[in-house]
Amino acid sequence: MDDRPQIKSRVGYSGSVTDTARAVLRSQRRAARRAESVTSILDAAERVFSEDGLRDGSLRRIADLSGYSTAAMYKFFDSKQHLVAQTLSRRADEYLAELREASRVEGNALERLHRIVDAAAGFFGARPHFKSVLRQMQGGSAIIGPALETFADDVYGRYAQAMTVMSDLVREGQQCGEIRAGEPDALAHFASVLINEYALTNASVTSADFHAVFDGALRAP
């Protein structure tokens, strides 16, 4: 019996599998190159927005620092507003992950809120350009609001998620009698304001002193 047709079929099948694997590999390489390009541009944007301001930071300077032309940047971002939104969202995702990790460590709810304080201080201390950008945002919605109007859900959605983590911890602490009575969302917002002032400003206060103030603000009397 002549089995050559069967051999051809196997060869054809093998070739098809190889072609598919190559196509997948090419796709993965393209995705990796794109991710690397986006990271380079976002790093440059974060520096430029920190040094020149969100309003005055130019795409031309971002392009020069990242090694791309201004025209090439539009392959990755629709507009300056989109670039601002992605600059903020990237770090917001990273911060939210660290905040969630700090909220899951062992200890009672108040102890975990103290861990969030340390996580915030470490996170922003390691990212001075991003810290500067957020300090600009504290200047009011008139500065950042119009630029992010189209992308508000992407940016401010992370803040809502962070506040949910904080509110859940406050509520847990209240149930155990560790945290003072009050509306959990309001207390979480108050705690967040304290953390932001500590982590984002250059106030001359030691870690121990801030933790004492933070503890006194939230601990049940």
Give the amino acid at 200.
L
Q: For residue range 16-34, what is the model confidence (pLDDT) as tens digits? A: 668 787 777 777 777 677 7
Return the higher-pLDDT residue of 214 and 145.
214
Give the per-residue pLDDT at 32. Answer: 76
CA distances from 141 to 132, 133, 137, 145, 147 (A): 16, 13, 7, 5, 10
Q: Which residue has the higher pLDDT, 72 or 6?
A: 72
φ/ψ (deg, to 5) at 23: -65, -40
User: How many C-beta atoms surround the C-beta of residue 7 within 10 A?
Assistant: 10
Domains and CATH numbers, the chain: 1-77 (1.10.10.60), 78-221 (1.10.357.10)
Q: Is pLDDT of 148 > 90?
A: no
Q: Look up residue 131 and give its DSSP letter.
A: H
pTM (2 decimals)? Answer: 0.79
Give tens-digit pLDDT for 55-96. 899 999 999 999 999 999 999 999 888 898 899 889 988 999
Which of 87-96, 99-108, 133-142 is predicted most confidently?
Answer: 99-108
Q: What is the largest CA-CA distance in the chain?
A: 92
pLDDT band at 137; cut points 50, 70, 90: confident
Taking the CA atoms of 133, 154, 110 and 184 in sequence, report the sign of the dihedral they define: positive
